[in-house]
Amino acid sequence: MYFSAYRPRRLRRNASLRSMVRETHLRVEDFIYPMFSAFGENIKHEISSMPGIYQQSIEHIVAEAKEVHALGIPAVILFGIPETKDALGSDAYCEQGIIQNTIRAIKAEVPDLMVITDVCLCEYTDHGHCGVIKDGDVDNDETLKLLAAEALSHAQAGADMVAPSDMMDGRVEAIRAILDDNGFEQIPIMSYAVKYASAYYGPFREAAESTPQFGDRRSYQMDPANRREALREALLDVQEAADFLMVKPALAYLDIIRDLRDNFDLPLVCYNVSGEYSMIKAAAAKGWIDGERVMMETLLGMKRAGADLIITYHAKEAARLLRG
């Protein structure tokens, strides 16, 4: 074809034509909204680095869950800030733990909203690591037992889905086994299959009060330099019977999202993490960017890279824009 005959601008001339040839669409149904449930009553504390996002006690969580559901967002993912933390993260797998109580409260009031739970120990351990410490590092196989107990207790409290984010080897298999042994074979596992050791989690650690008290997470989360390793991590989770795969963070890892989309047929989720949210909010507050447009373009980019679903703090704002 020659320039004189084919003119791409023909299909860009007006909004109707552009909408007819649009390849990627954002939908309200694509979003999963993260929430931070804090022990106590009457708590609604805004995270300083995440405007519009709060640590909240259960009654406020339930109120926001209703709002999320009314906007048409299908699911929330829950993080807990317990009353007390200890070396083994006991609140994580306690029947009256913060998350277990939150799940019951949401399901009682908004039963159609899908409740996904983050399965990890870092919010519940006094040392802030994602598992049991032995000889100065997280012990993989001891941690698996606790993660399995945590996932089971979330299912028993009524969670619709569990999402392990710890990056221990073999956790999907361990969680699948305990769920199946207890009659929860219908509860899907959304695996944080490919999770990098990222500085973009900074604001989240303020929100979840989960900063490691020594060292960092590089002995279990992935090296941001590695691309082939992402395929190996994802394959393992497929073999362990994960129902969803996730890539996290999203913005600096769009190539990884595309790799997983091209190599696996499971539903693919990406996590538009806290630091990605904070950067847009900060630049918008300074008047340096158009926050709404940059938000929508960023979310669209994640879908175009191949994500089916996006966990995002922007979910409510983006839903309002999409609903018009």
For ligand PBG, the binding residues (CB under 6 A) are 118, 120, 122, 130, 165, 201, 204-205, 217, 273-274
Q: Is 103 an interacting residue with respect to Zn ion (CB under 5 A)?
A: no
Name the catalytic one among 66, 134, 145, 248: 248
**Shorter beta-carbon distance to ligand PBG: residue 30 or 118:** 118
Q: Which does 273 bind (CB under 5 to 8 A by kind): ligand PBG, Zn ion, none?
A: ligand PBG
Q: 3-state secondary structure string, 24-52?
A: CCCCHHHEEEEEEEECCCCCEEECCCCCC
Q: Of all helices (H) and strands (E), which one includes residue 247?
A: strand 244-248
Q: Of all helices (H) and strands (E), which one includes residue 231?
A: helix 228-239
State the minimum distance, in angstroms, from the CB of residue 111 to ligand PBG.
25
Q: Is 208 an interacting residue with respect to Zn ion (CB under 5 A)?
A: no
Question: What does the CA dihedral 181, 186, 192, 194 come to, rounded to 10 degrees?
Answer: 90
Q: Which does 127 bind (CB under 5 to 8 A by kind): Zn ion, ligand PBG, none?
A: none
Q: Is 305 an interacting residue with respect to Zn ion (CB under 5 A)?
A: no
State the minimum distance, in angstroms, from the CB of residue 1 to ligand PBG.
45
Q: Is 147 an interacting residue with respect to Zn ion (CB under 5 A)?
A: no
State the minimum distance, in angstroms, from the CB of residue 313 to Zn ion.
18
**Shorter beta-carbon distance to Zn ion: residue 47 or 122:** 122
Q: Who's near 131: CB < 8 A, 6+ residues apart?
A: 121, 125, 138, 139, 140, 142, 143, 146, 147, 166, 168, 220
Given a contact cutoff of 8 angstroms between Cβ atoms, the answer to whether 299 and 251 are in contact is no
Q: Which does 231 bind (CB under 5 to 8 A by kind): Zn ion, ligand PBG, none?
A: none
Name the catalytic one among 195, 286, 303, 316: 195
**Shorter beta-carbon distance to ligand PBG: residue 167 or 260:** 167
Cβ burial of 20 (10 Å; 0-12, 13-18, 19+) is exposed
Which residue number is nearest to ligand PBG in terms of Cβ? 204
Question: Is residue 116 classed as helix, strand or coil in its secondary structure?
Answer: strand
- Near Zn ion in 119-138, by CB under 5 A: 120, 122, 130
Q: Is 146 an interacting residue with respect to Zn ion (CB under 5 A)?
A: no
Strand partners of residue 189: 162
**Shorter beta-carbon distance to ligand PBG: residue 183 or 250:** 250
**Shorter beta-carbon distance to Zn ion: residue 120 or 194:** 120
> What number of CA atoms fall less than 13 Å from residue 126's CA on the CB side?
6
Q: Which does 201 bind (CB under 5 to 8 A by kind): Zn ion, ligand PBG, none?
A: ligand PBG
Checking phi first, is residue 214 left (phi over 0); if not, alpha (psi -120 to 50) or beta? Answer: beta
| Interatomic CA distance for residues 188 and 13, integer angstroms | 45
Strands 190-195 and 268-272: unpaired
**Shorter beta-carbon distance to Zn ion: residue 25 or 134:** 134
Strand partners of residue 118: 163
State the minimum distance, in angstroms, from the CB of residue 14 to ligand PBG.
39
Q: Is 151 an interacting residue with respect to Zn ion (CB under 5 A)?
A: no
State the minimum distance, in angstroms, from the CB of residue 189 to Zn ion.
16
State the minimum distance, in angstroms, from the CB of residue 324 to ligand PBG.
28
Q: Which does 204 bind (CB under 5 to 8 A by kind): Zn ion, ligand PBG, none?
A: ligand PBG
Instruction: Using the structure block, give the residue that is written with the tokens 């909203």.
Output: 113
Strand partners of residue 190: 244
Active site residue 195: yes
Q: Who's near 111: CB < 8 A, 6+ residues apart?
A: none
Instruction: Summarize as ranges the residues that interact with Zn ion (CB under 5 A).
Output: 120, 122, 130
* Active-site residue list: 195, 248
